[in-house]
Structure 1
Amino acid sequence: MSDVRREPGFQQWIAELAGGEPFDWDADGDDPEFLDWITEVYAGNGAMPMELVNPLVFARRVELAQRALQRIAARAEVDLGPLPGLTVVTTPPDALEPTGVVRVGGYGQRITGLTFAEVALTVADNVQEWVTHDRSRIWPVCPEHRRGLHPQSADGVPSWVCREVPHVVSPIID
């Protein structure tokens, strides 16, 4: 796959995609997970126009959100019990939303990331929103300060962070 990345056609295609909506990434970025995925898309399909890439972006976000939700919900259920209704909520791509809309639980931010780490942060935030709305609870909480934790990247790792006395409590995904 790395040879494909050196091809002028691939480099031009990446630059065109990065410059257009709805992508939020740098054509010169070096995230290996993203580069592997976009290289695979190119290797299998060539320089696809944006309207053909958009459904693939949607499918990727759905798949990453489902994986992250499975792991985050398992941790939440240890503290909160079963969480029926906590699911990935989607609106398929259309003219108004070319890459569709992906959320977890129907609350919070839409998922815009294309790597597992990015998506895990947004899913964690969405799970917190859902727990607040559905259970009227704050989850998770810092065991030391008894304050709600915040999803944040710590050295590139999606983590639960306490802001009372700033410190990383745990990774979001074990």
Structure 2
Amino acid sequence: MAFADVNDPNAVREAIKEFDSKGRDVFLNEYGFGKARDYFLVVDGKRYDSKAIFGVAHKYQFPDLGPLEFHHFSGGATTVEKKLVAMGFHVDGPQQSAVDPVPSPEITKAHDEAEAAGAFDPHDESDARQKTFAAIVRRQVNAGSDANCSKPTKGAARSAVLAYWKS
């Protein structure tokens, strides 16, 4: 039995359960895998290190042979991704992640908290400009609270900011 023989989706699900119960760092260290950089297995919105999950799935499908080690396979696109997709799983690769990311629950929560606190999406140019402009105006207006400064008017602050944006 070898890499090509892993074809049982239930073995992959068992590896995912083990990953979830141990946590990423313990799971990867126990089986000698590094953190994935490009290819992630995505199940229920959660991203998993595809090679590590696939290697441990081998243990569940072939208990007598144990898990595959990292040196049993190479690049995600040519090996693990194709096998996992053939079993009905979704794998995010470098191109997919940049275009259609699947954020983890932690990322989604952090994004929601940041948005509620007034943060902006740096990829949305108009939102970034509006929030940056508002922050500059607030700083300009509040700059007068220093004892050595006279407080500028909002019109003066706006003029200063507009002059900055035109330069």
Greater share of helix residues, 1 or 2? Answer: 2
State the TM-score, normalizing by the size of structure 2. 0.27
State the TM-score, normalizing by the size of structure 1. 0.27
Greater share of strand residues, 1 or 2? Answer: 1
Q: Work out which structure has the larger RCO, using CA pairs closer than 8 Å and 6 or more positions apart in sequence.
A: 2
**Larger C-alpha radius of gyration, 1 or 2?**
2
